[in-house]
Structure 1
């Protein structure tokens, strides 16, 4: 390569020429953005003055750009140049990325179609829960593990931030919920800076601000956060019997859908010391809560600490979600002897169809994702049981729940009876403890156990 610096006295005539040299020593065409611009101009059959006029700059300035000067056009200039040169979509992307540093692609309106390649990648993350959301955190797709651990993703209009900030399940899931809520609010504020006129985003913000706690955070905190990539946090999961696990969140932006988030959650069992100051990656626990930017953190211990969770069952289950044409074909996935669960379907989520499969010992959960497209996920009975609202049930729902509960127990009668005894003992002890706490809460303040009594147990 040969580089030649050239200047003249004018303000717009500082440039740098970069030439490609052929093996025979003869200089070839200019390289870099200037060469790319020159090639586009010639392909369009235009002369330099015409192109310079479209950009609103002098011919001398434009000439120096083709010779190697490095400009930074505005978005308006990029749009004008793309129009006059007749650039295609990829060329427009290259032009805007060089000058503005962002994509020209306009986010799709309405529900976006998820490419099969992305669904394949999602299924390949098993057993790590994985989902794809749009720029407003609406869930577009998810894998088997995500559906089993957090079946709310299968509900109509499922939205991560709306679930986290407005539902009792979301609040109970996150440890240090207020810290998580603060980060979610900061993410919403960041979204306002990029597409604040989006009606769907405005509706989401309006919904979450109905929560007084969220409204207080909104009024008292004005920081911005783009995403939660690399965050490590504790979560209590209903479908795991309210067991606490530690989760590492990984966020990527697929090139084919750059305005969407591809999120993988690697998780491990939480350590016994729940008050540990170190997270699963060896970092300071909840350090992300005070971040107002997204710095790169080296995680030397990541591969050592992040292990595959116990989601890989001994039973060989299919990891890919199915998409069929109608609800009948979805129910057929339960196999011979499938039992419809219409009452529980209505209770668990609107617009879902549950079918019990006695032979496969699971439940086929089907959701109409688009006209003529029913997404099918096979989940464990425990996943559905965890979603059934607590309280008195009508006879039909109770009968279905009884069948579901029996299927969740071991198959052999003796093993099932033994498991029931174990569960009844655990539930009895839990109820006794709750009644004791209830009695203590009804006592005068000076007779209640203080924080020091709880601390002494640690």
Structure 2
């Protein structure tokens, strides 16, 4: 039954969102997702808890969607969900229509040339940063490479991930990034403005700016301050992630660029036991 108690056969539009999501979960193999399979597990398909973890939201939040409850589900979250459930283009379209009543916009994708610069050596560097989370992004903050600790901290990063879209368009980011407005939103908007000035013809950056401001109108006041920030290096930030079980974690952000590329950023989150947010 859907949120109004009707079965699919009673609905001229077909299956409810609840029925669709349960079916899509059931066909997914938990063995395809590192860290989900544990000794003795016999369940077939992904559980609600699995999907919540892989998309970076609470089990309660995902459960609300699956029950058909109306809420402000972001495009970023729906795209991560589409990727986790390996939905086809048509299924992703139906998910959007059922969840928020409109079709999806074109998904942001990494620049082809930038993505091609992500090679085995760079991946080995990311892996060598363990236990610190590390990732590589392109000019528009699409995550094109990451290590296993990053997936543990931010499970959404493995699924059509864009850092800025998650920070600004997902509800959970405002809960997981401590002092979201001052320590994260303001500097990140300033970094987007800085990148837009340096790469005015970059369509991915132009679309990123437009989508963020349109998807989160309360950010316009911050944007109108015209603050400009370079990409943070050495800045200290605080996180409160599900994987830390409620413990607040302080990280120092280290930003690097590979030699020979002006389109990639390498970011390492170095956990610290002390320090206040800065930079």
Q: Give the TM interval when normalised to the shorter protein.
A: 0.5 to 0.7
Corresponding residue for residue 218 of structure 1: 223
Corresponding residue for residue 198 of structure 2: 194
Deviations 1:164-217 (A, max 9, x none): 111012111111111110111100110111112211111111111020221221
**8 Å Cα contact 1:235/1:245 also seen in 2:** yes
Q: Structure 2, unaligned stretches of length 5 or more?
A: 1-110
Whole-Å separation in 1 of the counterparts to 2:247 and 2:265: 27
Whole-Å separation in 2 of the counterparts to 1:136 and 1:208: 12
What is the TM-score when the length of structure 1 is the normalising length? 0.35
**8 Å Cα contact 2:254/2:268 also seen in 1:** yes
State how 1:217-366 maps to structure 2 within 5 Å: 217-219=222-224, 221-269=225-273, 280-281=274-275, 285-288=276-279
Larger RCO, structures 1/2 (Cα 8 Å, 6+ apart): 2
The alignment status of 1:176 with 2:179, answered yes or no, reads: yes
Deviations 1:356-393 (A, max 9, x none): xxxxxxxxxxxxxxxxxxxxxxxxxxxxxxxxxxxxxx
State how 1:13-412 maps to structure 2 within 5 Å: 109=113, 111-156=115-160, 158-179=161-182, 180-210=184-214, 211-219=216-224, 221-269=225-273, 280-281=274-275, 285-288=276-279
User: How far has the Cα of 1:127 moved from its partner?
Assistant: 0.4
Whole-Å separation in 1 of the counterparts to 2:205 and 2:129: 29
For the pair shown, the structure with the greater C-alpha radius of gyration is 1
Whole-Å separation in 2 of the counterparts to 1:237 and 1:126: 18
Distance 1:116 1:109, change over 3 A: closer
Whole-Å separation in 2 of the counterparts to 1:243 and 1:169: 16
**8 Å Cα contact 1:112/1:140 also seen in 2:** no
**8 Å Cα contact 2:238/2:277 also seen in 1:** no
Give the aligned CA root-mean-square deviation in angstroms. 1.7
Deviations 1:121-147 (A, max 9, x none): 111000000000011111010001001
User: How far has the Cα of 1:245 moved from its partner?
Assistant: 0.3
In structure 2, the residue corresponding to 1:172 is in which secondary structure?
Answer: helix
Deviations 1:24-50 (A, max 9, x none): xxxxxxxxxxxxxxxxxxxxxxxxxxx
User: How far has the Cα of 1:110 moved from its partner?
Assistant: 6.5
What is the TM-score when the length of structure 2 is the normalising length? 0.57
Whole-Å separation in 1 of the counterparts to 2:137 and 2:172: 20
Q: Structure 1, unaligned stretches of length 5 or more?
A: 1-106, 270-279, 289-458
Q: Which has the higher helix share?
A: 2
User: How far has the Cα of 1:258 moved from its partner?
Assistant: 2.9
Q: Which has the higher strand share?
A: 1
Aligned residues: 167
**8 Å Cα contact 1:248/1:265 also seen in 2:** yes
**8 Å Cα contact 2:237/2:278 also seen in 1:** no
User: How far has the Cα of 1:286 moved from its partner?
Assistant: 3.1
**8 Å Cα contact 2:139/2:264 also seen in 1:** yes
Corresponding residue for residue 105 of structure 2: none
Deviations 1:71-124 (A, max 9, x none): xxxxxxxxxxxxxxxxxxxxxxxxxxxxxxxxxxxx864643411111111110
Whole-Å separation in 1 of the counterparts to 2:147 and 2:113: 24
